[in-house]
């Protein structure tokens, strides 16, 4: 069945109630997805070019990527690339198309993979393994905004544990506004907006899944580094300190992705930033450092986290990891798109239906920065649409959605 579309107040397509929702492409004039490819990607290429003293080879490759993104077609990786066969399989029906005619999730992911090739990240030369986004991440981590946020922790030190837990959960959701890729073209959202505009809030169900003293294993799938990862780590410390979890596995990206996505090196940078801070932030950093040493906090980086695929197509080894956890917490907009499927679902489609395949209880903490949304109450949707604001993509609204029941074994 092909889904018909109209237009909502954000300028993009509105889904009709049919079951099979339309895959989001980037060829809809005025759509958010088109703006990412047409505006954000070219701007990012220029930022990366200026961030390092790259040589002629990198500049030529970046020019070629810019031209392909704007006017060319999708071409496969060079046969010499180690993941050539994998990407050839993923893109076998897409090569030769305009980037704008491919699924949005796929074209975004492949753009970042091609960007890493252009700067020599996977090569054998001196730029091998040099994160092209590192200057942006480090600048944010050193910023005064982080100083202020860490000092604010002192005011929470003597607050009752339940109240502190709620505050830290909201800070983790709010931290998802700290997305460098989003700010390449959009600028910061209004201060505090995400906290004030939770359009779905299942935090009570989340607390029920992780009562104090539960002593369980929790998986946390990170999104961005820097100002977002720090509140995530602080929330992790709270869960460990109060035995909401005995052990936490933090899943990060295996290589640079989507500008600010967190890798192991970014986790280490954030732990150092915490540990070197005065007051409560320093105490949290020391506890997390110790938790890493004892195995209560473990970092993993599965290759699937940089794949252009929904979680419904996750490999069996990752499925087994999530099945073994009492709860999996997915942070951020990209993880949400991969969790529910990057399609124009009807906004009131139940979150539990779209995540029924997931191997265990799952929670999504997300600031809205793209069109995909499910699980809204009709009255909430009506109010958002009446506002006339681009609520889906502006980074001013957020959600906490939870599905507690587990799916049957496969």
158-164 CB contacts, 8 Å cutoff, 24+ apart? 161/212, 161/238, 161/242, 164/238
Name beta bridge partners: 367: 398
Distance in angstroms between the alpha carbons of the first and the last residue of the chain: 27
Quote the CA–CA distance of 291 and 282 in Å, as a whole number: 14
Angle at CA of residue 306, ends 268 and 183, nearest 5°: 70
Task: Kindly list the strands in the beta sheet with 398-403, ordered across the sheet, starting from the edge strand earlier in the chain.
Answer: 198-201, 398-403, 362-367, 327-331, 217-221, 247-251, 297-300
Backbone angles phi, psi at 345, to 5 degrees: -65, 150
**Residue-by-residue pLDDT tens, the chain, 410 positions:** 333 333 343 444 444 444 579 999 999 999 999 999 999 999 999 999 999 999 999 999 999 999 999 999 999 999 999 999 999 999 999 999 999 999 999 999 999 999 999 999 999 999 999 999 999 999 999 989 899 899 999 998 888 999 999 999 999 998 755 443 333 334 444 333 334 589 999 999 999 999 988 889 999 999 999 999 999 999 999 999 999 999 999 999 999 999 999 999 999 999 999 999 999 999 999 999 999 999 999 999 999 999 999 999 999 999 999 999 999 999 999 999 999 999 999 999 999 999 999 999 999 999 999 999 999 999 999 999 999 999 999 889 999 999 996 544 44
**Which strand (E) or helix (H) includes residue 114?**
helix 104-118
pLDDT score recorded for residue 293: 98
């Amino acid at each position: 069945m092909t889904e018909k579309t109209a237009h909502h107040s954000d300028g993009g397509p509105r889904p009709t109630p049919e079951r099979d929702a339309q895959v989001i492409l980037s060829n809809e004039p005025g759509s958010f997805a088109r703006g990412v490819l047409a505006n954000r990607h070219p701007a990012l290429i220029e930022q990366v070019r200026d961030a390092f003293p790259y040589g002629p080879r990198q500049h030529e490759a970046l020019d070629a990527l810019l031209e392909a993104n704007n006017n060319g077609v999708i071409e496969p990786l060079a046969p010499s690339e180690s993941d050539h066969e994998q990407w050839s399989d993923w893109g076998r029906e897409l090569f030769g198309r305009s980037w704008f005619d491919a699924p949005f999730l796929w074209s975004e992911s492949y753009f970042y993979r091609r960007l890493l090739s252009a700067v020599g990240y996977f090569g054998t030369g001196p730029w091998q393994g040099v994160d092209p986004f590192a200057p942006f991440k480090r600048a944010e981590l050193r910023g005064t905004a982080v100083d202020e946020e860490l000092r604010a922790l002192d005011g929470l030190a003597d607050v009752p544990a339940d109240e502190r837990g709620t505050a830290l959960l909201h800070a983790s959701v709010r931290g998802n506004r700290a997305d460098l890729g989003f700010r390449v073209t959009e600028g910061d959202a209004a201060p505090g907006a995400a906290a004030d505009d939770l359009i779905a809030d299942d935090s009570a169900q989340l607390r029920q899944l992780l009562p104090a003293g539960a002593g369980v294993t929790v998986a946390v799938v990170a999104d961005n580094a820097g100002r977002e990862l720090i509140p995530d780590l602080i929330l992790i410390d709270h869960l460990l300190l109060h035995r909401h979890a005995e052990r936490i596995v933090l899943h990060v990206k295996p290589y640079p992705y989507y500008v600010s996505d967190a890798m192991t090196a970014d986790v280490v940078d954030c732990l150092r930033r915490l540990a070197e801070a005065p007051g409560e932030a320093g105490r949290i950093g020391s506890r997390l450092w110790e938790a890493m040493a004892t195995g209560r906090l473990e970092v993993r980086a599965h290759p699937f986290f940089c794949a252009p695929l929904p979680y419904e197509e996750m490999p069996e080894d990752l499925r087994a990891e999530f099945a073994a956890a009492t709860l999996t917490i997915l942070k951020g907009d990209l993880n949400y798109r991969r969790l529910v499927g990057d399609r124009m679902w009807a906004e009131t489609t139940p979150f539990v239906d779209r995540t029924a395949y997931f191997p265990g209880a799952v929670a999504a903490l997300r600031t809205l920065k793209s069109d995909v949304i499910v699980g809204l109450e009709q009255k909430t949707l009506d109010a958002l649409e009446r506002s006339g604001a681009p609520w889906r993509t502006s980074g001013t609204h957020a959600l906490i959605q939870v599905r507690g029941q587990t799916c049957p074994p496969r």
